[in-house]
């Protein structure tokens, strides 16, 4: 099978120079390995993602020769929810009704009991970062939220399930997601999925040395 890369923007703003660097890096590495790059739109956050941002992103990405159809995450909520239910059946999830201010709400976050999840896996977790074995430490994240009453999935769950579903062998993305990779390898084990190779590249800074953001392209 050909090496497979992906670029997975969230349409909650416009692409900035950092994103373009990331797409180019994906294509550069894919070319070197005679691989291909897929495009995925990560639009599960329906309060922040907007069709006009998606249109602008697709327009900006037109010069890049992506392979195959675009996968749009908002079209697959039922798939993610079913997989999360699988973890629930293992007794690894609980509903947290506490609000940010310490009150109790009707709404809830569906959280992963981190200690129970690690006990369930009961083996060293690691990923391969630029060819080097890197120990994962998901415990630092505590009980991560995997879904909410209003949104039946989360970034972590959807990204892990889609990378596997799309047979992604190489994840090339910004250093801002390096630490989150610990959560991703834990979820890959819990869902019985293979782990791709990872390459977290440096972030592109603006002239003042600050990190670029979508509101500040």
Minimum gap (Å) between residue 173 Cβ and ligand GLU:
4
DSSP 132-161: EEEE--GGGG-S-EEEESSSS--HHHHHHH
Is 111 an interacting residue with respect to ligand GLU (CB under 6 A)?
no
Is 8 an interacting residue with respect to ligand GLU (CB under 6 A)?
yes
Paired strand residues for 129: 132, 198
| Residue environment code for 26-44, b if the CB has 16+ CB neighbours within 10 A, otherwise e | bbebbeeeebbbbbbbbbb
Is 153 an interacting residue with respect to ligand GLU (CB under 6 A)?
no
Identify which of residues 19 and 189 has a Cβ nearer to ligand GLU in the complex. 19
Paired strand residues for 133: 128
**Residue 192 falls in which region: left (phi positive, over 0), alpha (psi -120 to 50) or beta:** left
Minimum gap (Å) between residue 19 Cβ and ligand GLU:
8
Is 170 an interacting residue with respect to ligand GLU (CB under 6 A)?
no
Identify which of residues 57 and 109 has a Cβ nearer to ligand GLU in the complex. 57
Is 10 an interacting residue with respect to ligand GLU (CB under 6 A)?
yes
Q: Which of residues 30-59 bind ligand GLU (CB under 6 A)?
A: 42
From candidates 56, 58, 177, 204, binder to ligand GLU by CB under 6 A: 177
Binding region for ligand GLU (CB under 6 A)? 8-10, 42, 159, 173, 177
């Amino acid at each position: 099978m050909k090496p497979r890369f992906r670029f997975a923007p969230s349409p909650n703003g416009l692409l900035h120079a950092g994103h373009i660097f990331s797409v180019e890096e994906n294509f550069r590495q894919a070319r070197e390995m005679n691989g291909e790059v897929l495009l995925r739109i990560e639009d599960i956050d329906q309060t922040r993602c907007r069709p006009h941002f998606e249109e602008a992103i697709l327009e900006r990405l037109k010069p890049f020769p992506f392979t195959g159809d675009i996968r749009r995450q908002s079209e697959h909520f039922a798939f993610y929810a079913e997989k999360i239910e699988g973890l629930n059946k293992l007794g690894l999830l609980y509903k947290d009704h506490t609000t940010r201010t310490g009150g109790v709400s009707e709404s809830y976050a569906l959280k992963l009991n981190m200690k129970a999840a690690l006990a369930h896996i009961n083996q060293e977790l690691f990923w391969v970062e630029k060819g080097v074995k890197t120990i994962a430490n998901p415990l630092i994240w505590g009980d991560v939220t995997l879904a909410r009453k209003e949104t039946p999935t989360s970034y972590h769950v959807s990204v892990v399930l889609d990378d596997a579903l799309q047979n992604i062998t190489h994840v090339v993305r910004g250093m801002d997601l390096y630490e989150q990779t610990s959560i991703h390898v834990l979820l890959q084990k819990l869902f019985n999925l293979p782990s791709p190779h990872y390459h977290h590249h440096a972030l592109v800074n603006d002239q003042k040395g600050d990190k670029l953001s979508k509101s500040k392209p």
